[in-house]
Structure 1
Amino acid sequence: MKDKNFIIERQILRIGNKISNGRDKDLIPFDLTANQSEALLYFDNCPGRSIIDLKEHLRITHQAARNIVERMKRKELLYVVISEEDGRFKQVYLTEKGRTTCDDLKHLGTNVGCQLLKGLSEEEKDQLLSLLLKINDNV
């Protein structure tokens, strides 16, 4: 059983490395890092959330999250507003350029996902998703 666990772990690692390497190449035209693209998608799904929320989502330091948001503000992908409820709380939103870039990233991700899951039935995709969620909870 231990050998099987090791083989599975190595296969997951290989798949992750292949996806990560391909993703880095895919992001070159967008002038984004992987964390920046994740931040863009995060603020698309959770508009008005804070840098602290991003830090927790990406599991990075507060300084790293702040740097990501600052760089993306300079690229005119994000903007920050001070909360009306709490002046210490800064809310982050996508700019119009950020929305367009995010839509392009989703389209690219859909294409990569289709290639990755090519040949799997809908039932197999459902099973895989269920198993991956369980594995993710274990990590």
Structure 2
Amino acid sequence: MRIHITSVFVEDQEKALRFYTGVLGFVKKHDVPLGGGARWLTVVSAEQPGGTELLLEPSGHPAVPPYKAALVRDGIPAVSFAVDDVQAEFERLRGLGVEFTMEPTRMGPVTAAVFDDTCGNLVQIVRTGP
């Protein structure tokens, strides 16, 4: 069994697509209109175009806004992305205007930082090991 698709709820799919591709560097994989303005919109890592897809899923379900608000209020990231160098990625993203809620922090064998994806979510970047 492998992870094929995972999702993150976004308030505006077009805005999310711009952020996840233009700022984070992901690549659009699928963009299929579903009606009512919604799309099956996925992105993948430029480093692994055949890898796990991230669905930029509309936040239309009534349970989503309170769920997302609770996660943000409690500082819990909705998704976590692996990077080779958290400090370098922090500097790159901060230079692009990304707002961090947690600067790079070493926690045992993990270094992590958390930022706002401008779409209602906190996102963690992480590196394990030395």
Task: With the length of structure 1 as denominator, give the TM-score of the two structures.
Answer: 0.27
Higher strand share: 2
TM score, norm. by length of structure 2: 0.29
- Rg comparison, structure with higher value: 1
